[in-house]
Amino acid sequence: MLLRRPVSAGMGDSGAQRAAVSAWNRSKRVTWAWPSFVAAATLIAASFSPAHAEPEYWELEWQYTDFTRSSVLCEDILSAFGFSGGKDRIPAIDNPLFGTVADAAESLAGTEPVITVAIGGEAKAYPLSILLVHEIVNDVVGDVPVAVTFCPLCNSSVVFNRSVNGEVLDFGVTGNLIHSDLIMYDRQTESWWQQFTGEGIVGTMTGAQLEILPVRIESFDRFRDRFPQGQVMRIPANSELDYNSNPYAGYESRDRPPLFVGQTNAVPPPLSYVVAVDDQAWTLDLLRARGRIVTDDGLILEWTPGRNSVLDTPLISEGRDLGNVTVQRRLDNTLVDVAHDTTFAFAFSAFFPEGNLKTLSD
């Protein structure tokens, strides 16, 4: 399917649209105030739905992207930065720095969340407080090239193997979204990739699929207990970005995500948390109430308390308790982790409209 030109209805250069873009351009990635972000984002979303009014605009910023190959429509894409261009405005981390768990304990509270990647005897933790700012980390764990990703608008934490058909890719942030979810790009071909699914959606890599790795989003305390010799990612050296404020404080308490232009299910509410495994999902409320769920196909989901939300309070260590989730399957009398995501109901329903979502009422 070609990335076709959007229809012109509602796409004129209106005063409201210009004002929205101007307001957005004045805001900075990690220093905006949340009310200003919501106001600008809501106005942008109301003014237009595609990322840019003209496909030719994309081609100015993406000279090496093959826009004749795509599995999505232009009008499904929304830019987080209006018409100003968003490529690498959110800077990915390419050479992450690490310290010991003892070093990390000086700045991380025990209940703060990290993405834990354990491969080949090596274990690394990536604090969500840093991923809020950078969204992508290109790294190597246990000799496996990985992309550690976090989309705050979907609360989606996904780790990919960066090797595709024998080639190792490096990923950056396009500044564009589908269903409020981060669209990544690889620097080798400048193809675009959907973070929620790991699918190539625009460019020469359209239709390719990144391998999603089984990881855990857990509290720093749990990582430290499981891997006392593990490594914890530190803030990049000489970075001038703001890691002390939370631009997404209060996000999870909204009625709906401000940058989502599709339909959302009324039950459960759009910004309620769900645990997703492929096209299956369970609300976090259901898993919390039961503590443990065993499915007919052998999945074992468990919930324990003690992990903060990053989208609740200005200080992450004071965020509400989302708890620690594990998803495993028994293999040869051993429990092995299964790739999963704790995300929002609207995102799961958008990417898996025919998916099976179980709630407390089921």
pLDDT in tens, 94-121: 999 999 999 999 999 999 999 999 999 9
Strand order in the sheet with 122-127: 98-100, 231-233, 122-127, 113-119, 216-219
* Shared domain check, 154 and 103: yes
Query: What crossing angle do the helices spanning 15-26 and 34-47 adopt, rounded to 10°?
Result: 150
* Shared domain check, 29 and 151: no
Tens of pLDDT, residue by residue over 315-326, are 999 999 999 999
Instruction: Give mean pLDDT, residues 44-73.
Output: 68
Q: Say yes or no to pLDDT of 8 above 80.
A: no
Q: Is residue 342 part of a domain?
A: yes
Quickly state the pLDDT bin for 264 (edges 50, 70, 90).
low
* Shared domain check, 224 and 129: yes
Interatomic CA distance for residues 123 and 141, integer angstroms: 7
- Average pLDDT of the chain is 85
Closest Cα to residue 311, out of 337, 279, 343?
343
Cα dihedral: 54, 59, 61, 62 (round 10): 130
- Helices (H) and strands (E) in the chain — how many of each? 8, 24
* Shared domain check, 122 and 69: no
What number of residues does the chain have? Answer: 362
The DSSP H or E segment spanning 98 is: strand 98-100
Beta strands in 120-227 (DSSP E): 122-127, 136-141, 144-151, 156-161, 163-164, 167-168, 171-178, 181-186, 192-194, 199-202, 211-212, 216-219
* Shared domain check, 323 and 255: yes
Q: Say yes or no to pLDDT of 254 above 50.
A: yes
Boundary residue ending a domain (204, 233, 262): 233
Instruction: Give mean pLDDT, residues 71-94.
Output: 85
* Shared domain check, 174 and 286: no
* Shared domain check, 116 and 69: no
* Shared domain check, 345 and 255: yes
Report CA Rg, the chain.
Answer: 20
Question: Residue 163 is part of which domain span?
Answer: 98-233
Per mean pLDDT, which range of 44-58, 168-182, 325-339 is the poorest? 44-58
Tens of pLDDT, residue by residue over 157-167, are 999 999 999 99
Q: Is residue 3 part of a domain?
A: no
